[in-house]
Structure 1
């Protein structure tokens, strides 16, 4: 899958938007994601409100590099190394959260969902931002996720969400979710 042709200038503008508490809709492997700065509580709460998502569900963080996700987990180095071998991939792993990770990310459960996506645009956004971003499907809860920039724009542009151009693999399914401590597949 291509990088979708974003320029360095566009990536810097997206990063500035995230730094300022803005929300973005951006392409991932199978659907458009809705994201923000995970450490900006007001931005996360706005995202949850737009999606009408229960905060107790927790959120996924994506990054371009496993080192930027490492501070969010309390896994021992051996387990973390095993998880990282499978990335980048459309595979999200739920792991024990590090102390101090905000409840708005974990849903208050002491676990955090992490992924290094295989989509180059999603990874380029994280690299430009300099760290992880929230990644949840770009849709209102219980509605189909957006599979194009146009559908993401229709759903969220009026709410001030910046729409990042790009494409998704329409044949792909949303990322697999695995609960690391138990090995249980939550979504295949």
Structure 2
């Protein structure tokens, strides 16, 4: 287990960390560090083609990654009305966003979290972190620090000590341009 300072230090050092989200624990890293992302993908046994979710403290932290000029004012309003909260939106990316984040897509999945510890983590880190469930492929996502330590403890540099937000289901994933639901929340 680690306090927030230790977790931020691990992120800055290009390490993979665990942290509570609204429903399950997540694992994440610095989205701007390709080596860190590669470590995360290897740990999760996750194909790079799937892309990753970014979780942020506020909308401004997402602006370097998303191209919200491709959204209508109504689409942007719909997205902003759902945040902070457990809705992940698939949005167009800026051309500068690397494929190791987007996978095979020209979009990226992003969320402004309502979890106070993760908001603090992203604020202290100064940018979003990647977010994928804290589990090995095919196993149930961890819902407690003990669950995460059992499955991934030896693979993570630090785990943010805290509890999930108590939601049963992981975040809903929706397309910001079409409104289509990719994963029910």
TM-score under structure 1 normalisation?
0.90
Q: Secondary structure at the match of 1:25?
A: strand
- For 1:178 and 1:144, locate their aligned partners in 2 and report how far apart those are by CA, in whole Å: 22
Q: Secondary structure at the match of 1:156?
A: helix
1:88-167 superposed matches below 5 A: 88-167=84-163
**Equivalent residue number for residue 49 of structure 1:** 42
- CA pair 24-184 structure 1, distance change in 2 beyond 3 A: same
Q: CA deviation at 1:162?
A: 1.0
**Equivalent residue number for residue 13 of structure 1:** 6
Q: CA deviation at 1:169?
A: 4.1
Structure 1 spans left out of the alignment, 5+ residues: 1-5
Residue of structure 2 aligned with 1:176, choices 168, 172, 178: 172
Q: Could you tell me whether the CA contact under 8 Å between 2:4 and 2:160 is conserved in 1?
A: no
- For 2:172 and 2:115, locate their aligned partners in 1 and report how far apart those are by CA, in whole Å: 14
Q: CA deviation at 1:186?
A: 0.6
Structure 2 spans left out of the alignment, 5+ residues: none
User: For 1:90-136, what per-residue CA distance to the aligned partner results, in whole angstroms no more than 9, with x for missing partners?
Assistant: 00000111111011110031100000111111111101101100011
User: For 1:24-66, what per-residue CA distance to the aligned partner results, in whole angstroms no more than 9, with x for missing partners?
Assistant: 1100010000000001101111111111111111100011010
**Equivalent residue number for residue 61 of structure 1:** 54
Q: Could you tell me whether the CA contact under 8 Å between 1:177 and 1:185 is conserved in 2?
A: yes
Q: Could you tell me whether the CA contact under 8 Å between 1:12 and 1:129 is conserved in 2?
A: no
Residue of structure 2 aligned with 1:22, choices 12, 15, 31: 15
**Equivalent residue number for residue 3 of structure 1:** none
RMSD: 1.6
Q: Could you tell me whether the CA contact under 8 Å between 1:29 and 1:119 is conserved in 2?
A: yes
